[in-house]
Chain A
Amino acid sequence: MTPLDMPMKHGDAGDGASIGQRLSRHDGKLKITGSADYALERQFEHAAYAVLVPATIGAGRVVSVDTAAALAAGAILVLTPEDDLGLAQATTFTGQRPEGAFLPLPHEIRFDGQSVALVVAESLEAATEAARRIKVTYEAAPVTASLVQTPEDAGTVGEQFNVAWGDAQAAYADAPVKIEADYHTPREYHAAMEPHGLIAKWDGDRLTVWQPSQWVHAMARNYSDWFGIPMEDVRVVSPYVGGGFGSKGFNYGWEALVPAAARRLGRPVKLALSRPQNFNLYGGRASTRQTLKLGATKDGMLQSILLTGASETSTYGVWPEQVGAATPLMYGTPNYRGQQRIVQVNTVTPGALRGPGKAPSAFGIESAMDELAYAVGVDPLEIRLRNQPDHDRMSNKPWSTRRLREALTEGAAAFGWDKRPMAPRSMRDGHQLIGWGVATGTFPVIRNYGEAEIRVTAEGRVEVVSGATDIGQGTYTVLAQTAADAFGVPVDEVSVRLGDSSLPGSPVAGGSKLAGVMTGAVHKAATAAREELIGLALTHPDSPFHGIEANTLELKGGRLTPPRADAPNVTVAELLRAIGRDGLTVRRDTLPEDMQSPEERKRAWTTMTTAQGPTVGDYSQHSWCAHFAEVRVDEDFGTVRVSRIVSAFDCGLLYNPKLVESQWQGGIIMGIGMALFEEGLVDARNGRVVNNNLGDYLVPTNADVPEIQVISVGIPDTNASLLGGKGVGEVGIVGVAPAIANAVFHATGKRVRDLPITLEKLI
């Protein structure tokens, strides 16, 4: 099958192909029966257990660490800032390797909870108690706890985020209708069920790390850099992941302590973070603020967009949460200017959380468009349709596929939007004020390279082997479907091995690109394996097909058949037996010719420098979505309940609609959390996140999740990927919060511009 064979219909394929079928997840049953072997749950003889000691100041310096009481209480090893671990700096995901030594326990404290020591003991309980007895003396320094404590002009302008065309200021000044508003999003967290952590084990100079990971190859390189050993001598294993959402893509500095401890002790060491540590030993989504100015005509045609924004980062690392990530893409304005500041505060460096940049960005522009709709008296759906851009003004390239108009109209039809009265507070049910809101979202198509191996066994079964990871989104399942179609066996004859850095290369399971990249690599490898097998069948002297007058054979359903019906018809296993082979192994990658050197291959599998953004090439490529939300707001209590969501997506071809719908719904559910619940509450005095547990940091429960209807309006986009899919994992969250905020406005007449929309903002 080639891309040209793919049926051009909405989302799903068909034609008996496995791709496009609604197969259940390979790992579903394993997980619900408790038999999925998560990395952190591996058991080892003689393992020791580690606990990190957190700093109790938000900024300052460690003067001394007194370990005597911990050692007396059973600690078998304590690592402190005084220990020289002999580590080197590791290459970052941008491909640069800083000079010098790497100090995972620096004396300087930059944020609350920063690790000041690692304590190892014979059990988790003993290590916990010993860690409690560590006495640290600090010199405290003043703390800037979060973005909200900083003035508007704090930080520095990130020049790389400047976007401008036309003369936005002049057009704004001249516009008959002006909207200006400030929007704020708080610190948000991944809150994955599975904590972060790792188990490290040395065999001589070879290191194996079992660690929940979205990218085993990059982590293997990271450990090899830190410990100065060849990457071939490091193996990172991560067969299943209990939730990543962007947090498990890269190593964090404290992770170096575990192999360091294991090497000193000569035994496996395990570290799993406590739940509170999952709030301050790696970063969530940075808090953001943005001021948007929209200039428009009286009928709501945009003339200008002006965006000034800011996001917080740490004092030692830069993570920009790009509030302008979606803003310039959504509407056709002739004039645009966007700028973003990066502000240092005393936090752990923030990181990627589902829909990074795009989610807070969409909250701004999609709230502002709703404000504009009401300022000019145009229906919020209609104003969006009027302002759809015909090409990407930022890159001046045509859209590869942009079916956002279809998403808006088909979503609106399914939702029943035409019955919506324009005026706020015009629908109610008893004390419940009912409101309907719409907002759109986007996520870029990121392309990259991948590598896969196809092993055909003597029994005619197919094994797909790759170091890519499955973080719950369906890599195992979709790669089995791809191999089944490309090789020509039923999907239940295919097994998949993943999540091991000793296996073929893969990019990070992040940025909504893995399925597109890896289906391409598996398709290529499986096609090559089929061709090799057919070649053997036609040429091997012992083959039943030897000497028949045919240029090729068909391999379908695990059987090889010639064009002529009266010729032999054998299974793959029968053929292999006949020609005396016990199998077949084919490895292929999608790297171009000039990237086949070992250095280039390493760069491709362990950095992000080979990733291609959405405008590399002739087109501007993105996934798109439109969310329609119904809320019920109690008029006295201010409590918001989402009672209905309909969302329509353009994500190109869907490799497996069941899994895709699950991804979309998961993103929408996280969007409900972003809209209504999620907020890291930071103590202004020391920068500590005080609701650092799942009882107080609220994510949606099942009771908070209504019926969610998702609709695919996409068509295959073969610029985006070999088979025509665009990313599905992150786009779902983008636009949900403004859709809900806009529905809250429609219900109550109150515009909430700072998330989350908690009850006190509405009473």
Chain B
Amino acid sequence: MKPFTYSRAASLDESRTATTVAGAALLAGGTSLLDLAKCGVTEPEQVVDITRLDGLDTIQASSEGARFGALARMSRVAAHADVLANFPAVAQSLSLAASAQLRNMATLGGNLMQRTRCGYFRDPRAFPNCNKRNPGSGCAALGGVTRNHAVLGTSEACIASYPGDLATVLVAFDAVVHLGERAVPADDFFLLPGDTPDVEHPIQPGEVITAISIPGSAAAKRSTYLKVRDRQSYEFAAASAAVGLELEADGRTIRDLRVALGGVASKPWRSRAVEAELIGKSLTEEAVCAASWRAVDGAVPHGDNAYKIELAPRVVARAILSLGGLA
């Protein structure tokens, strides 16, 4: 692999400065960086290790809200009792992600920054055409093997799907990504590919993810993350749903509903249409199944991935119904 220098950031400011240097990459858990360097996708000249920075791995959660330091490890957050009690979908999304070894290494900040699993993006030598890697070069995935490509939020330039689990939950519950002082809603932290699929986040040079916060809510407390895939472990979602539900005192009218989709879109995909359709209505199987189809409004298939348009609404419906005790 390409030679690079390695240094350890002594302070958060030093890590911020590093991000202004062309060819520099921050190293946290390393599970993405090392993988992509081996693929030849990422070729840093300078690797700045931020894992020794103090105070960035805290985990706090209560009914009021949660705040996770950017360097908190996935496995620690997943097992945290207060997270399990107040944000079960967060814990589930982390437990169902990757493998035990990866979860022990990977950090939450790094998890948000993970890149797509598009096989064409990950194989520059065989497929030089990739607008995400090399803007303007085209998209090798179009006309290729597209079973796990996105059906929502794609563009002519890119049909890659966002593979992460946690971010799907964050988007559902209006989480905020903290870049030091600046706070960006999770939904805005992930950009649609449009004409610039190489730009995935609004993060600027000099900015580093420091924390993730999630406001507490009854829906977050009664939440679930349902991940559907062929293999029971260590596979990205064919489709997933992060759902939170709050019922009125009558026990059947939906007061609050949160729905986001994973594995089917170019970014973590909030389904506000499903939420709007059901809030204020009675929780019935019929209503939920009908409304869940709104989750794939505007979906466009690309060959092998057409099944996701069938599958995603079923996943949403099952997640809502299971929270409501109807599935």
Contact = CB atoms under 8 A, between A and B. Distances in A.
B232 A685 contact: no
Given A125-B1, A690-B119, A112 B126 contact: yes
Contacts of A695: 117, 234
B238 A56 contact: no
A763 B307 CA distance: 8
B23 interface: no
Interface in B230-250: 230-235, 238
Contact of A763 (B120, B234, B311): B311
B13 interface: no
Interface stretch (B60-68, B103-111, B141-149): B141-149
A618 interface: no
Interface residues of A, number: 42
Nearest to A757: B230
B276 to A, nearest CB: 23
Interface in B23-68: 38, 40
A274 B1 CA distance: 12
Q: By CB atoms of chain B within 10 A, which of A132, A637, A703, A758 has the most?
A: A637
Nearest to B235: A698
A112 B229 CA distance: 29
Interface in B1-16: 1-3
Interface of A is mostly: loop
B1 A129 contact: yes
A759 interface: yes
B3 A129 contact: yes
Interface stretch (A401-409, A497-505, A662-670, A675-683): A675-683
A691 B119 contact: yes
Interface in A697-730: 698, 700-704
B314 interface: yes
Interface in B57-89: none
Given A681-B147, A683-B144, A759 B231 contact: no
Contacts, number: 93
Interface in A722-763: 756, 758-760, 763
B318 interface: yes
A636 interface: yes
Contact of B311 (A129, A637, A676, A691): A637
B315 interface: yes
A221 B229 CA distance: 47
B314 A763 contact: yes
A763 B231 contact: no
A561 interface: no
Contact of B318 (A132, A636, A702): A636
B327 interface: yes
Contacts of B117: 695-696
Nearest to B147: A681
A639 B235 CA distance: 13
Nearest to A637: B228
Interface string B110-127: 000000010110010111
B145 A704 contact: no
A641 B3 CA distance: 45
A758 B232 contact: no
Contacts of A132: 2, 40, 125
Given A129-B3, A690-B123, A690-B145, A704 B314 contact: no
Given A703-B231, A763-B314, 16 more contacts: A56-B126, A132-B2, A132-B125, A636-B314, A637-B315, A639-B229, A677-B230, A681-B119, A684-B144, A688-B126, A696-B117, A698-B230, A698-B235, A701-B231, A701-B234, A759-B230
Interface of B: 1-3, 38, 40, 117, 119-120, 123, 125-127, 143-145, 147, 228-235, 238, 307, 310-311, 314-315, 317-318, 327
29 contacts: A56-B126, A125-B1, A128-B1, A132-B40, A276-B123, A636-B315, A637-B314, A637-B318, A639-B230, A640-B230, A641-B232, A676-B231, A677-B230, A681-B119, A681-B145, A682-B145, A685-B143, A690-B144, A695-B234, A700-B231, A701-B232, A703-B233, A759-B228, A759-B230, A759-B307, A759-B311, A760-B238, A760-B311, A763-B314
Interface of A: 54, 56, 112, 125, 128-129, 132, 274, 276, 430-431, 634, 636-641, 676-677, 681-686, 688, 690-691, 695-696, 698, 700-704, 756, 758-760, 763
